[in-house]
Structure 1
Amino acid sequence: MKEVAKYLIKVDAEFKDGRIVPEIPYEEVMRLVNEPNIVIIKTGIPETTLRSVITTTRAWADSTPLAEGPDTFDNNQHKQRLHIAKIQQAPQLFHDHTFDALLDLDESTRQTLLSVFNPMRQFWNDLTGNNEEYGIRKGQPYFHPQVTHYPLGGSFFGRHWHPLNPQKVGTILALNQYGKDYTSGGTGYVINDHIVETEGYQDMGDIILFRYDLPHWVSPSSFADRFSWDDPAGRWVAILPFYDPWAKPADKDEPQGWKAQIQTAKNTSPEVAV
């Protein structure tokens, strides 16, 4: 475990029998997240596995018409998101692939996506003490696996936030490599009025963990590049939200209650290696 910047901690892990096993107990990982910190888990998921998810997602999207209407949260779809969220007023520009009905995909596509989403699901369960499986359950929270592409040339996701529960901890898995596949764009956060930028700190196979009610965003990719929806270059991530899409959405005002609710435990925290 190593603190690499203020509020930014890297934790080594082993990828063993399809599970992500961190060097410290899951309870300790969650304590670090809730202090709060941004925790980057070095999962060890093989590069071939990660890149196959990108290749498979692109092939699936090539054979699947773009979604145009409102999200139904009960299918598999991809959408070129270019709008401003009504409640939070967060502008968006990215290509989103959402697999709410993941189990309904053809065998090859399903198994390739599950090669990362099953370890992510189990890891989230281990962190939160849950035992959730995939499947749509209207009126209840369920998983919404997503593969998101941020093309070169100005893609981004504006500052936004989520209710803390039932997700508790957000998960962002890097499917490709900063400095090689893309050179700009990363997820940023606000902790105690301090800006935490993860650009350049997250490598392929790393999972960013964050307390789910922290305000956060994805910084723009460089406008020096020409934007194209069809160019696969750019940042690719897999995320695993867990929520009830018909429940009360996030408030229009940023959540600041966590500042008073969270105890930093500075005097009781074990020393972090630097």
Structure 2
Amino acid sequence: MKEVAKYLIKVDAEFKDGRIVPEIPYEEVMRLVNEPNIVLIKTGIPENTLRTIIDTTRAWAAETPLAEGPDTFDNNQHKQRLHIAKIQKAPQLFHDHTFDAMLDLDEPMKQTFLSVFDPMRQFWNSLTGNNEEYGIRKGEPYFHPQVTHYPLGGSFFGRHWHPLNPQKVGMILALNQYGKDYHSGGTGYVINDHIVETEGFQDIGDMTLFRYDLPHWVSPSSFADRFSWEDPAGRWVAILPFYNPWGTPADKDEPQGWKTQIQAAKNTPSEAAV
């Protein structure tokens, strides 16, 4: 374990029998996330496994029409997102591929996606004390596996936030390499009014963990490159949200409850002083 920048900690892990096993206990990882810090897990997932996810996603998207209507959260779809979120007013420009019905994919493709998303699921369960499986459960929280592509030439995701629960910890797995496959467009966070940028710190196979109610964003990729939805160049990530699509959305105001709680704890006399 090593602090590589303020509020940014790298933790080594071993990829063993399809599981991501960190060098420190899962409880310690979660404690670091909640302090809060941004924690980079060096998962050890083989590079060819990660790049196969990109290739498989592109092959699937080439045979699947783009989704145009509102999200239904009960299918497998891909959408070129170019709009401003209604509640948070966060502008966004990226191509997402959401596999809510991943278990309905043909067997070879399903197993390819599970080679990455199942270790992520098991890791999240270990962090949060849950035992959740894949599958759609309307009216309840469930997993929404996503592969997201940020093309070169100006893709981004504006500053936004989420309710802390039930996700608790956000997970962003790097499917390709900064400095080789893309040169700009990393994720940033705010912790105690300090800006934490992961650009240049996250390598292929690294999984970024963050407390889910931290304000965060994806910085624009360089406009020096020409934008194209068809060009696979750019940043690719796998994320694993866990939420109820029909539940309470994020507040329009930034959730700074964690910061308020920290300050309140500092201002509260200790039991020893009472």
Aligned position for 1:128: 128
TM-score between both structures, scaled by the size of structure 1? 0.96
Q: How does 1:186-201 map to 2 (within 5 A)?
A: 186-201=186-201
Aligned position for 2:140: 140
Return the alpha-carbon distance in structure 2 between the equivalents of residues 265 and 234 of structure 1.
43
Aligned position for 2:10: 10
Return the alpha-carbon distance in structure 1 between the equivalents of residues 265 and 144 of structure 2.
33
CA offsets, 1:13-62, max 9 Å, x none?
00000000000000000000000000000000000100000000000000
Return the alpha-carbon distance in structure 1 between the equivalents of residues 204 and 148 of structure 2.
14
AA aligned opposite 1:50: L
Where 2:148 maps in the other structure, the secondary structure is strand
Return the alpha-carbon distance in structure 2 between the equivalents of residues 4 and 264 of structure 1.
28
AA aligned opposite 1:223: F
Aligned position for 1:233: 233
Contact 1:35 1:263 in 2 (8 A): no
Residue 264 of structure 1 and its aligned partner are, at CA, apart by 11
AA aligned opposite 1:253: D
Aligned position for 1:35: 35
Q: CA RMSD in A?
A: 1.3
Residue 256 of structure 1 and its aligned partner are, at CA, apart by 1.1
CA offsets, 1:52-101, max 9 Å, x none?
00000000000000000000000000000000000000000000000000
AA aligned opposite 2:25: P
Contact 1:10 1:42 in 2 (8 A): yes
Aligned position for 2:250: 250
Q: How does 1:99-110 map to 2 (within 5 A)?
A: 99-110=99-110
Return the alpha-carbon distance in structure 1 between the equivalents of residues 226 and 166 of structure 2.
39
Aligned position for 1:209: 209
How many pairs were matched up? 266
Q: How does 1:81-96 map to 2 (within 5 A)?
A: 81-96=81-96
Return the alpha-carbon distance in structure 2 between the equivalents of residues 206 and 170 of structure 1.
13
Q: How does 1:114-125 map to 2 (within 5 A)?
A: 114-125=114-125
Return the alpha-carbon distance in structure 2 between the equivalents of residues 198 and 110 of structure 1.
30
CA offsets, 1:95-139, max 9 Å, x none?
000000000011111111110000000000000000000000001
Return the alpha-carbon distance in structure 2 between the equivalents of residues 264 and 229 of structure 1.
47
Aligned position for 1:113: 113
Where 2:115 maps in the other structure, the secondary structure is helix
Where 1:80 maps in the other structure, the secondary structure is strand
Q: How does 1:41-56 map to 2 (within 5 A)?
A: 41-56=41-56
Return the alpha-carbon distance in structure 1 between the equivalents of residues 265 and 6 of structure 2.
15
Contact 1:36 1:262 in 2 (8 A): no
Where 1:247 maps in the other structure, the secondary structure is coil
Return the alpha-carbon distance in structure 2 between the equivalents of residues 48 and 174 of structure 1.
13
AA aligned opposite 2:132: E
AA aligned opposite 1:60: W
Return the alpha-carbon distance in structure 1 between the equivalents of residues 153 and 190 of structure 2.
25
Return the alpha-carbon distance in structure 2 between the equivalents of residues 181 and 16 of structure 1.
27
Moved over 3 A (4+): 262-266
Return the alpha-carbon distance in structure 1 between the equivalents of residues 261 and 32 of structure 2.
15
Aligned position for 1:269: none
CA offsets, 1:201-237, max 9 Å, x none?
0000000000000000000000000000000000000
Aligned position for 1:158: 158
Identity %: 89
AA aligned opposite 1:76: N
Where 1:96 maps in the other structure, the secondary structure is strand
Where 1:118 maps in the other structure, the secondary structure is helix
Compared with structure 1, are the counterparts of its residues 255 and 138 closer, same or farther at alpha carbon in structure 2 (3 Å cutoff)? same
Return the alpha-carbon distance in structure 2 between the equivalents of residues 59 and 108 of structure 1.
13
Residue 262 of structure 1 and its aligned partner are, at CA, apart by 3.9
Aligned position for 1:223: 223
AA aligned opposite 1:99: F
Return the alpha-carbon distance in structure 2 between the equivalents of residues 196 and 244 of structure 1.
29
Contact 1:84 1:92 in 2 (8 A): yes
